[in-house]
Structure 1
Amino acid sequence: MLFPLFLGILVQCVSTVQQITQTRWNTGTNPPETDCHTMAAVSNIILMEKMETVYIIYDGEQDTCLYKLTGNLTHRTKIQFTGEDTFQDDLTSVIDDLVQHGNIDMMRRRLNVVLSCSARCIQQALVTGLELDMKVGKQSVLRHFSKWILIPNDNTGIAVTNLKMDNVILLTDNKNTTINEVATLLWAKEGRQWDILDRGSTISLNNSTVFPNTRFGLNGRKLMVVALEWKPFSVKERDSGIVTYSGISGEYMDYLSKSFNFSYKYIEPPDNLWGHKTEDGNWTGIVGLLQREEADMCSVPYAFNIERAEVMEFTYPVLMEYSTVIYKTSQDESKIWKVLISCFKWEVYIVGVVVMLTVGLLHVCLLKSTPDPSQDGRIMKNSVCSGGLLMGIMPPLNQASVDIPMFDSGRMLFSCWWLFCLIMTAIYRGNLMAFLTVSRTVVPFRTLEELANQDVYDIGAPVGSYLSLAIMSSNQTTLKKIWKKIQQTHAVGPKSGDADYVYQLQRLHEGYFAYMQSNVASDVIMNGTCSLAKMKEAFLPTVSSMTFPLHSPLARLFHSKVLSVMDTGLYPKWYGKWVPTQESCSDKSIDVDVSTLHVHDYYSALAACAVGVSVASMVLLGETYLFQIMPRRNIASLKDT
């Protein structure tokens, strides 16, 4: 009796439970089986894109379908469920870690988000993603390298006008049918719009259609590129008030923009400085903009050093060179006024005078000691002083002697002295001809040590450049001396970078100013003029690269293309286009040139003539006084007596 009763109650309970369950399915309290069809498409996308980590934000009503999603994935895919309120905290540490590693491929595998919730929840999660990208993602990590799958569970539309994420797809389904729809977010003339990829009961997708923007680089993004003029890499141009830059860096930017599908706008630092570190640890100029992430990159190559590497990211080197010193050449003033005595060094003249006096003395001694009973010998001995003096002076002046020695020893001395004078006068004539016709510039210094120890030339270097920073921080005695002189130039010059550059170039062309620059920049400065020369010694080897904010993924993204510029031979082509071929007169410290003679070349000869005429006039006046005026006065006084 009890068993049939118990069995009837059990059947009634089962029937009641079935009715309740059927009612809940019909009223939508729990999702029907057809609502989980989109999860099959999601799992296919995750497997197809080889996503290693997927973050899922969901509403509580969708957990059944989401657990079915996890069952369709392999163990290689890590699913992490997160709520709307914890989404930001969960992703912050992940993004920061990925930025530190700088591995773009890892970013693409691990930054994947599935939003299976209401349209309001999806919209808020997208805004949170943009804020995260601005805060820890360098404005690029989530924007370009993450993938977003949107599955709204209501009919509210998703606003995409201001959405900057590149890789976003939308999966929707019809509640009344099994029709599903997949759309991807693309750019159109009217702005960002959804483009339907597939629609139907079954979704057919492939790698090339799910996230097509992964094949379009930066997807039309506009980068802020900071620059200052530094020829030949950065040549400033103005068009209707808009500042642009060309040069070798402009060639790089055009090449990269075409390769990665982005546009760019040039900006300049407000202080027009390259950048130096202040006492509070911050930087000015271009480096400061990159440190504060107010610019996406700098197109002008920056030399690498440890301090800059703490606030900037460097790509593959685009320039490897040395530094040099430029100065204005000057002619040797001795060619004008001292050319007659500049043929020999002063030591040669001293030795010549000593030898001449010695020959004269020997001749006097020979005249005194040689026995000669003839009348001519006695006469010659009576004039030993005048004869010895004439024998010493006349051969160097290429004059023949009237009195020939009458004895063999005197003739041998006279012959040797005459041969010596012939050789010396020939050398003097050759040097004099070379000094008058061959133009050679004076080299004021050949090394940094000579530059530091001279006081004629002031020294300058670009403000905030790597060259200035390296000299300032050097412990070498020579560079310390040079830095003191550079500081003196900076103290009286403009503080702005462009104005300082113009000021130092003006000083360079005025003369007696040594301008320290990179070798490439010096070639551009010296082009078209023969009045500038470079110091022979090269110093301070530098490696320069394009720079980005610290840990910017764009630096890693552009790395391979910058490297390909060197491998494909584009850099020599651009260098030849923007760096002019130097003329033969560009290095006056080495070249010599035959020049025509001018009046000023004979100033020294005219001066010698003037001195000779003056001395002769004084001698004439003296002789007139001694031999004419004095005797007359004596005769007159005698008559009076």
Structure 2
Amino acid sequence: MDGVVPVLVAVFLQYATASLIEIGVVAKNGHSNQVITLNETGHVGRIHWFGERNGSIFHKVAQISIMKNYNLDLIIAPDPMSGKSVQFIRPETFYKEAWKDDDEHRLSPSTEYPLQPPLCDFLNYTSNLIHTLDWNSTTILSDRDNSLDSHNLARGLSRLGVKSELVFVKKDGNLKFLEPIMKSIGMEKMKRRLRFVLLCSLPLIGQILKEAEELDTYFGKGSLFRHFSQWLLIVPRPALRSIEGMDLKLDHVAVLSTSYKNFDISKLTQWVVKTTSEVLSSEHTWNRSDFTDHFLQIVRREHNTRTVNTMLHTLLWKPHGRKLSVVRHDASHDDVFPNLKLGLNQRKLRAAALEWLPFVKRYEEEDGSFSYKQASIDLVDHLGNVLNFTYSVSEPADGEWGVPISEDFSNYSGLIGMLQRMEADFVAVPMGFSEGRDVHSDFLPFFHASGNGLILRNTRGRSKLSSALTDPFRWQVYAVGGAVLIAVILLYLVMEWNNPFYNDAKSIEKGWKPAGALDAVMYLFGSTIHQGGVHLPESSSGRVLVSFWWLYIIVMTAAYSGNLIASLTVTKEELPFNSLDDVFADDSLKVGLVEGTSLHRAIMTSNNSKMMRLWEKIQASRSTDRSTLERNATIQIKKVLHENYAFLSDMSELEVFARSFCDLYILQETFEPMQYSLVLPEDSPLTDMFSEEVTLVQEIGLMQYWYRKWNPRENDSACASTETGAKPIGLEKLVSVSLALLVGVLCSGLCLLIELVVKATSIL
């Protein structure tokens, strides 16, 4: 209202006898008053002009103190925000104290709020928009300068059944009211309550949004406000470019901007006089209250006919930053907040991992950086594609998985510690579940279950030149078989040589006589290899003995033949240890495991007698070798290969090592079964999103596919297989047979030589 000087239109020395209407107008450099009267009706109105004093009565209480002497019915003042529109206030809506010389003006908290004509419909549009968005509740953040609009918006939302909480925020910002709510109602309910309307100055809007992002760091794990809060900003049209320049990380931000024609302040004098005259010209006899209501009705009628341009924008993620995009007025929820359909909007999450085969393996690139692959990384890649995020992987500085490092078990080392310190958004390698870890982190649905075991080196070695002739039976079988053969030979000779059958005249006549010792031995021994002989016994007792001897031989040779086929196709070896008791019995064997794992903690705190003995064995090994708790599994395997050492770990990892090194084998006895899953920080807002997708991955069998993809198959191993089935027979399997044939040739040659010598001697 620069340069506006109120002009005294009509001054009347004598007022009519009808009631006098008192109107106060705040105008820069205003210094006089004017009277309007209509003799036809006897109505009289008086307009008082007051100096503006920095723009608004809302900032100058002293000015109000002057107004109180005039018994005003209505106050007209410039809008403190735009300076172009005006506000209409009933004086009775202020505290009585506000008419005194207080430091600041206060609005009445009663339901009779200061009246202001709806110079535009943006509040009605905002109420309807919030109702369309299906917000059950919202928090309206406002400053004192916008208190009137915020109260009106709250009342409009209440009529539509939307619960609203009106919070006045100071110019230095204040979102601390959210902290007790977040602590008391929990993460799930909090995600549904983060619905905000900002109706305040642009600097304060920026401050509130930045404070929300900072609050997210401490209470929302960096994700609560960013991905689950929804914001509706109400700003003037020129402020749109400033919103884009705020570099906001919040995903869901919509902006309702207004642009409309304001009062022509330069013609305020003429307008007030014209409107007052219109009211007084009515034939109706007004009292002071009715006059004020009718005055405001004229104002509403005039400004309802004006064109108000209200536009809705949504803040989108673009390649070059956040950009506003226009949304149509009949938009749906997904149109106003389209980022809801885009998951995490390509946010870069921080993953933590350690190498664990076959789930995670670290590869060094040519530039010195590291990349990570295998089954668990395939799962994380899938989650990134579905939930729309990228990630980087880092490892804990201490190289541990996560064990308590404080007496009250509140602080953890390793991967769990990174989650506690907010250095990582999730753990990308499966972690074993434990009650302590579950208290300080969120486990996703389990997708791997396995026992733990021991891997050792076969110190007895694996024979490269296997004895095909002796492998079918144990040595005890050969010993018993030899003893039976000798016993049957002796029994045969005793029965034949003492049998009266051969002393009978008929036997003598036919020349029947018992076989000699050499003939008996050759016949019974030859029957063991299905050769028999020509010297069959003539007596009935001898033939009965030989018949049952053949039954015995048929069964034994059949078993031998079957085992011979199996021994040629399946590797069989004698292992030095077959159970934990064998391990405990060997005092020279050292046992170790990776420090900081759930297995380490489980064995250390177990009440099981066998696990307690195992922990004592580990401690005894630790006292002589400090590297038995080495965190690098590769170094642990090297110790197994070169020392008398056993390594404890998950069976899936041990199987990979056993297939890579042929001298290693896994103890048959397993212990401490565990379940494994990815882990997020405690009360992470992302837990539900990740859990749903991991469950789906399990149901459709993707996790099993990735596990089989990276877990080496049996035929990928260079070691001899212990599985049944036809396998190629190598030359080493036939060495013993070849040697036996060579021995047989030498023996037969020696016999021939002896026969030749005997014959030559007899001729001489």
TM-score by length of 2: 0.63
Are residue 238 (structure 1) and residue 368 (structure 2) matched? Answer: no
Are residue 271 (structure 1) and residue 423 (structure 2) matched? Answer: no
Larger deviation: 314-323 or 582-591? 582-591
Q: What is the correspondence of 1:150-299 to structure 2 with a 5 Å cutoff?
A: 150-152=233-235, 157-158=242-243, 160-174=245-259, 176-177=261-262, 178-197=308-327, 203-239=329-365, 240-280=367-407, 281=409, 282-299=411-428
The letter of the residue matching 1:237 is Y
Q: What is the correspondence of 1:256-405 to structure 2 with a 5 Å cutoff?
A: 256-280=383-407, 281=409, 282-329=411-458, 330-331=460-461
In the alignment, the residues of structure 2 paired with residue 527 and residue 353 of structure 1 have an alpha-carbon distance, to the nearest angstrom, of 42
Give me the CA root mean square deviation: 4.9
1:564 corresponds in structure 2 to 696
CA spacing shift, 1:17–1:70, aligned 2, 3 Å: farther
1:134 pairs, out of 205, 217, 231, with 217
In the alignment, the residues of structure 2 paired with residue 13 and residue 354 of structure 1 have an alpha-carbon distance, to the nearest angstrom, of 136
The number of equivalent residue pairs is: 578
Paired residues of 1:122 and 1:152 also in contact (CA < 8 A): no
1:83 corresponds in structure 2 to 169
Larger deviation: 545-554 or 463-472? 463-472
Paired residues of 2:457 and 2:663 also in contact (CA < 8 A): yes
Q: Determine helix, strand or coil for the equivalent of 1:174.
A: strand
Are residue 482 (structure 1) and residue 614 (structure 2) matched? Answer: yes
Are residue 112 (structure 1) and residue 195 (structure 2) matched? Answer: yes
Q: What is the correspondence of 1:491-530 to structure 2 with a 5 Å cutoff?
A: 491-493=625-627, 497=631, 500-510=632-642, 513-527=645-659, 530=662
Q: What is the correspondence of 1:599-614 to structure 2 with a 5 Å cutoff?
A: none
- Map Cα deviations across residues 528-548 of structure 1 (whole Å, 9 max, x no partner): 665444444444332211111
CA spacing shift, 1:305–1:197, aligned 2, 3 Å: same
Q: What is the correspondence of 1:562-641 to structure 2 with a 5 Å cutoff?
A: 562-583=694-715, 596=731
Paired residues of 2:572 and 2:722 also in contact (CA < 8 A): yes
The letter of the residue matching 2:573 is V
Task: Give the structure with higher Rg (CA).
Answer: 2
Q: Determine helix, strand or coil for the equivalent of 1:66.
A: helix
CA spacing shift, 1:116–1:496, aligned 2, 3 Å: farther
In the alignment, the residues of structure 2 paired with residue 544 and residue 7 of structure 1 have an alpha-carbon distance, to the nearest angstrom, of 93
How far is 1:115 from its partner? 1.8
Q: Which runs of 5+ in 2 are unaligned?
A: 1-13, 24-44, 50-66, 81-85, 89-116, 263-307, 501-516, 528-537, 744-764
2:205 pairs, out of 119, 122, 125, with 122
Larger deviation: 28-37 or 556-565? 28-37
2:145 corresponds in structure 1 to 61
Q: Determine helix, strand or coil for the equivalent of 1:151.
A: strand
How far is 1:206 from its partner? 2.7
Over the matched positions of the two proteins, sequence identity in percent amounts to: 24
TM-score by length of 1: 0.73
In the alignment, the residues of structure 2 paired with residue 564 and residue 184 of structure 1 have an alpha-carbon distance, to the nearest angstrom, of 32
Q: Determine helix, strand or coil for the equivalent of 1:88.
A: coil
- Map Cα deviations across residues 70-120 of structure 1 (whole Å, 9 max, x no partner): 22224342323243368422111222345x3x42xx444311122211122
How far is 1:348 from its partner? 8.6
How far is 1:476 from its partner? 1.4
CA spacing shift, 1:419–1:474, aligned 2, 3 Å: farther
How far is 1:68 from its partner? 1.8
How far is 1:173 from its partner? 2.1
1:8 corresponds in structure 2 to 17
In the alignment, the residues of structure 1 paired with residue 481 and residue 701 of structure 2 have an alpha-carbon distance, to the nearest angstrom, of 62
Paired residues of 2:232 and 2:255 also in contact (CA < 8 A): yes
Paired residues of 1:446 and 1:537 also in contact (CA < 8 A): no
In the alignment, the residues of structure 2 paired with residue 448 and residue 205 of structure 1 have an alpha-carbon distance, to the nearest angstrom, of 70
In the alignment, the residues of structure 2 paired with residue 164 and residue 523 of structure 1 have an alpha-carbon distance, to the nearest angstrom, of 45
- Map Cα deviations across residues 436-487 of structure 1 (whole Å, 9 max, x no partner): 9687533537865445434275434333333333222221121222233344
Paired residues of 1:173 and 1:180 also in contact (CA < 8 A): yes
How far is 1:13 from its partner? 3.7
The letter of the residue matching 1:134 is T
Q: Determine helix, strand or coil for the equivalent of 2:689.
A: helix
Q: Determine helix, strand or coil for the equivalent of 2:20.
A: helix
CA spacing shift, 1:236–1:215, aligned 2, 3 Å: same
How far is 1:288 from its partner? 1.1
Paired residues of 1:53 and 1:77 also in contact (CA < 8 A): yes
Paired residues of 1:55 and 1:82 also in contact (CA < 8 A): no
The letter of the residue matching 1:171 is L
2:584 pairs, out of 446, 453, 456, with 453
Q: Determine helix, strand or coil for the equivalent of 2:316.
A: strand
1:444 corresponds in structure 2 to 575
In the alignment, the residues of structure 1 paired with residue 183 and residue 338 of structure 2 have an alpha-carbon distance, to the nearest angstrom, of 26
1:40 pairs, out of 124, 127, 142, with 124
Larger deviation: 586-595 or 459-468? 586-595
How far is 1:151 from its partner? 2.5
CA spacing shift, 1:577–1:395, aligned 2, 3 Å: closer
How far is 1:255 from its partner? 1.5
Paired residues of 1:357 and 1:392 also in contact (CA < 8 A): no
In the alignment, the residues of structure 2 paired with residue 18 and residue 175 of structure 1 have an alpha-carbon distance, to the nearest angstrom, of 28
In the alignment, the residues of structure 1 paired with residue 470 and residue 318 of structure 2 have an alpha-carbon distance, to the nearest angstrom, of 84
In the alignment, the residues of structure 1 paired with residue 618 and residue 734 of structure 2 have an alpha-carbon distance, to the nearest angstrom, of 40
CA spacing shift, 1:458–1:398, aligned 2, 3 Å: farther
In the alignment, the residues of structure 1 paired with residue 714 and residue 603 of structure 2 have an alpha-carbon distance, to the nearest angstrom, of 28
CA spacing shift, 1:194–1:86, aligned 2, 3 Å: closer
In the alignment, the residues of structure 1 paired with residue 736 and residue 244 of structure 2 have an alpha-carbon distance, to the nearest angstrom, of 85
Q: Determine helix, strand or coil for the equivalent of 1:565.
A: helix
Larger deviation: 546-555 or 562-571? 562-571
In the alignment, the residues of structure 2 paired with residue 41 and residue 440 of structure 1 have an alpha-carbon distance, to the nearest angstrom, of 82
How far is 1:296 from its partner? 0.3
How far is 1:295 from its partner? 0.3
